[in-house]
Structure 1
Amino acid sequence: MSFYSPSVDRLELLELVDRQRFGVEYQPIIDTCSGAVIGHEALARFFNHQGDLVAPLHIFQLLHDSPLMLAQVELQLKRLQIRFRPKNSTLFLNLDPHAFSVFGPTENENVMAKMLTDNQDLVIELIENTDLNDAHISNEVATLMHHKGVAIALDDVGAPGTMVSLNILSNVDFIKFDRHWISGDSCQSKSMKQLFKSLIGYAQLSGKKTILEGVESAEDLAYAAKIGVDYVQGFFYKELFVNEHCGNKGAL
């Protein structure tokens, strides 16, 4: 079931950005063994002029047609996500490497990099790569952030239509696994199950932490604990979600 309204067209997108109809949802990241909240992931939310949620993926797909607008929106979102962050909690921030690169290759000229490195207890989640150019940009972002002491997570590992850069995989601090490892065809395949366990084993041997996204039931949580996943997040913990409507939600 979809919680989102029908998609917006380009004119509606311009109005949405102009009015800053933005929100943020903080989803807790839970220690699989203790049940403690170890951090929160900030997820972008967008609203049309009627105040209905619009699918973030659709908005970002439109924004990718205009790199400057994408960078502008990403910068505004990150400022809001940091401003309203839950207190005393590590904040996991999704970062589009294409938006980051618009501001420049070095920290001194990159306003996004400066804003992120000026804040403590952040983990930057890099969107998984779909081509070699994406991998190159993601590597540059990871190198810059690590140089400033900011932790890096590789997001959506195993999601349909994505690829894995082994170079990035070897350099991140967190590996975030997509729900497809526990749902759909992936969880039925013996070889995929073994691959999932092997990746978790690799993370343990190399000192990386693992997070399984999309946990929706006690059975999902039990499976994650059984195979050695460090942390989980998902709708099983929906009562702990925190929503902030940071911009102009609804008609004015």
Structure 2
Amino acid sequence: MNAFNQSEMGALLLEREVEPRDLPPHELLDVVMARQFGTDYQPIVDVQSTEMLGYQAHAHFWARNGRPLDAHKLQTNLRKNPLLLFHLELELKKLQIAKFPGEGWLMLNLDMESFFAGGEDTTNPFLALFGEHAWSEREIVINVMQHHSMHDAFRIHHMMDLLQQSGTSVALEDAGLSWGMFSLSAFLDAVIVKFSSRALLELDGKAAQAMVDWLVSAARKIGVQTLMTDVDTCAALDWARKMRVDCVQGRLFSKHNLHVHSLLN
């Protein structure tokens, strides 16, 4: 196993990303079967104390020549082959859990299509994997990635129910901003609601402040944590403190990033 240090990883990611659709089928298959993927861990920090609460794992993929692949586009491309998508995501989650060196939250991004490729009941292998670590020093929190159709909203709620029944906590991505099927029941079922400071900057100042004030106030009353992402400056951190957000994540804390672990040969 190789581990890229931050400078090597930075140099690698400066290269233009390869479009997954431009890869011939056998090279796309290589990404999955030859395990040309890795993970890094971005810190989640308590706003008031700046104590490290945990990390969120982010996936990286490479083509045969070492050029990086866009993770979202790769996942979208593989939806044409649900079995391959399922295999990739399950192996990636195993890697992200195995290489996590810390304690506290381990937040894992999981797309609905990837999850349901493993089945729509309690026999889903993701549930068994997460359940193995339910009582460990890490707390696995599944970050439910956003979708925009009403049909997806119903399936997302089913996914959340299955995860919670197995003892796995759930976080909502960009709650109340770009997630079109945001609902009160989803809000009540989550342990963490996430929203981007970068997305908020695109709103009118008063609207952004009102949105955060409402989310933080409502979350606090029902015992849900709030997490502001894309906190890249001291000004953004100060604003999060002023708005009483619980925890933050972003490039401001990049000095705490861990190495990227990869199974590239």
Give the TM-score normalised by structure 2: 0.85
SS in 2 for 1:156: coil
1:71-110 Cα deviation digits (max 9, x unpaired)? 1111011000001012323211111122211222222x21
Identity across the alignment (%) = 28
Structure 1 letter corresponding to 2:231: V
The equivalences for 1:78-97 within 5 A come to: 78-97=93-112
Residue in 1 that maps onto 2:128: 114
Q: Distance in 2 between matches of 1:74 and 1:172?
A: 22
The answer to whether 1:43 aligns with 2:51 is: no
The answer to whether 1:102 aligns with 2:102 is: no
Q: Distance in 1 between matches of 2:102 and 2:37?
A: 21
The answer to whether 1:125 aligns with 2:143 is: yes
Q: Distance in 1 between matches of 2:237 and 2:205?
A: 20
Is the 8 Å Cα contact of residues 61 and 69 (structure 2) preserved in structure 1? yes
Residue in 1 that maps onto 2:192: 174
Query: Do the aligned partners of residues 47 and 113 (structure 1) sit closer, same or farther apart at CA in structure 2, a change above 3 Å counting?
Result: same
- 71, 75, 90: which one aligns with 1:60: 75
Report the alpha carbon displacement of residue 167 of structure 1 after superposing the two structures with TM.
Answer: 2.3
More deviation in 163-172 or 221-230? Answer: 163-172
1:211-231 Cα deviation digits (max 9, x unpaired)? 011110111100001101100
Structure 1 letter corresponding to 2:211: L
Structure 2 letter corresponding to 1:220: A
Residue in 2 that maps onto 1:34: 49
The answer to whether 1:204 aligns with 2:220 is: yes
Alignment length (residue pairs): 245
The answer to whether 1:141 aligns with 2:155 is: no
Question: What root-mean-square deviation, in Å, do the aligned CA atoms of Structure 1 and Structure 2 show?
Answer: 1.9
SS in 2 for 1:242: coil
Q: Distance in 2 between matches of 1:213 and 1:65?
A: 31
Q: Distance in 1 between matches of 2:95 and 2:191?
A: 25
Q: Distance in 1 between matches of 2:74 and 2:177?
A: 19
Is the 8 Å Cα contact of residues 45 and 52 (structure 2) preserved in structure 1? yes
Report the alpha carbon displacement of residue 179 of structure 1 after superposing the two structures with TM.
Answer: 3.3
Q: Distance in 2 between matches of 1:13 and 1:143?
A: 33
Is the 8 Å Cα contact of residues 84 and 244 (structure 1) preserved in structure 2? no
Q: Distance in 2 between matches of 1:17 and 1:29?
A: 29
More deviation in 152-161 or 200-209? Answer: 152-161
Gaps of 5+ in 2: 1-12
More deviation in 202-211 or 165-174? Answer: 165-174
Is the 8 Å Cα contact of residues 157 and 178 (structure 1) preserved in structure 2? no
Structure 2 letter corresponding to 1:214: D
SS in 2 for 1:229: coil
1:143-174 Cα deviation digits (max 9, x unpaired)? 12212322111013355575423321221110
- 45, 67, 88: which one aligns with 1:73: 88
Is the 8 Å Cα contact of residues 122 and 150 (structure 1) preserved in structure 2? yes
Q: Which runs of 4+ in 1 moved over 6 A?
A: none
Q: Distance in 1 between matches of 2:233 and 2:180?
A: 25
Query: Do the aligned partners of residues 236 and 61 (structure 1) sit closer, same or farther apart at CA in structure 2, a change above 3 Å counting?
Result: same
Give the TM-score normalised by structure 1: 0.89
Gaps of 5+ in 1: none
